[in-house]
Amino acid sequence: MKAVTSNAWGLCVFLAIFLTATVVPGCEATCSFPAIFNFGDSNTDTGGFYTAFPALWPPYGMTYFQKPTGRTTDGRVIVDFLAQGLGLPFLSPYLKSIGSDYRHGVNFASAEATARLPHSSPFDSWISPFSLAIQFNQFKHFKVIVDEHDSYDVGNTELPPKNIFGKALYTLYIGQNDFTANLTSLGISGVNQFLPEVVGQIPKTIKDIYSQGGRTFLILNLAPIGCYPIFLVEPLPHNASDIDQFGCLISYNNAVVDYNSMLKDTVRKTRQNLKDANVIYVDTHSILLELFQHPTSHGLKYGTKTCCGEGGGDYNYNKKLLCGIAKVVDGVIVRAEACEDPYNYVMWDGLHTTDAANKLVAQAIFSGSYFDPPFSLHHFCDIHPIG
């Protein structure tokens, strides 16, 4: 991972490379996208799931917002930083009926969402009903409402102009729950059998959005879940030989690498079929793996250790105690509490990354070094520094 700084660089290179193949003088006029439409799971959910099912508690949100906001971390998620870098406000969740401002995009992501259609309810499996196909249907409905209204103020909800859909940036970061929800019951071999089906949902959604006018897409690949504390504490379906020198599960991370390879090939084929679209594969896996393996090289202290957890040790994670929850164990109240310095951690609650880690991921994305096709963004224009 190359050095990451707060001096992130612009994304208008999409227009320059794909549409003109030349450097564009005065790029500042076209470098900012006017909106982001985001699809995904808890990694980029800004409150959609917990608007539908209100149930988030402190210390979630403690670092940046000082209160829970529906984000499953201590502060901001990756899409928040992408919006900041582009000079846009944070995205309102599609399901938030009070106080939403959609003039610069919408967040359709939902915690616990899967790329495939769910086969159970969120009350017995922790799987969201708002899968990728449902999120696209919500987007399509949103576009119909925008197209039907001349006014930008509908029921006290701010809407964007009708021409925004072809100019916007579309981000997709989903698939993790298709892994995690089935690992315990099916194991790696069982999960591997339906990975092609999971991958297949991504190009379908890209083409569906394309049919609605979308032209620029960032497809984020999956993180190295074998480094997540939730999979590293006992009881485990593996042995010591499956742990690498950094404390991560080799078999789980290998499975993610296989998935990401399939996803990259699929995104490349989709790009070839949509000649006038920018379909970019983003290697967030490499960024996060570097943070897990070498946190101190990037201003952090702990890679696979949880900030908000209980139990101490290498991972500070207890599967029976969610972040912020207390239980009586052997007559003693035990609580999974947040650390005092989440800015030193990659992992927040055993399954989600911290505000600090998300910021580093976004900065690395803006560097342009993790795109396929590869190109350098910093030759074209600056973007807003991420604070």
What are the residue numbers of the active site?
42, 349, 352
Structural element, H or E, at residue 302: strand 302-306
- Distances from the Cα of 289 to the Cαs of 13, 218, 256, 286, 372, in angstroms? 26, 19, 11, 5, 18
Strands 278-282 and 371-372: antiparallel
CB 182 within 8 A of CB 190: yes
Q: How far apart are CA 135 and CA 107, in angstroms?
A: 9
User: Alpha helix locations (H) across 237-323?
Assistant: 250-273, 284-293
Structural element, H or E, at residue 191: helix 176-211
Q: How far apart are CA 269 and CA 272, in angstroms?
A: 5
Contacts (Cβ under 8 Å, ≥6 apart) of 235? none
Counted residue by residue, the chain has a size of 387
**SS3 label, residue 55:** coil
CB 249 within 8 A of CB 238: yes
Q: How far apart are CA 287 and CA 139, in angstroms?
A: 29
User: DSSP letter at 274?
Assistant: -
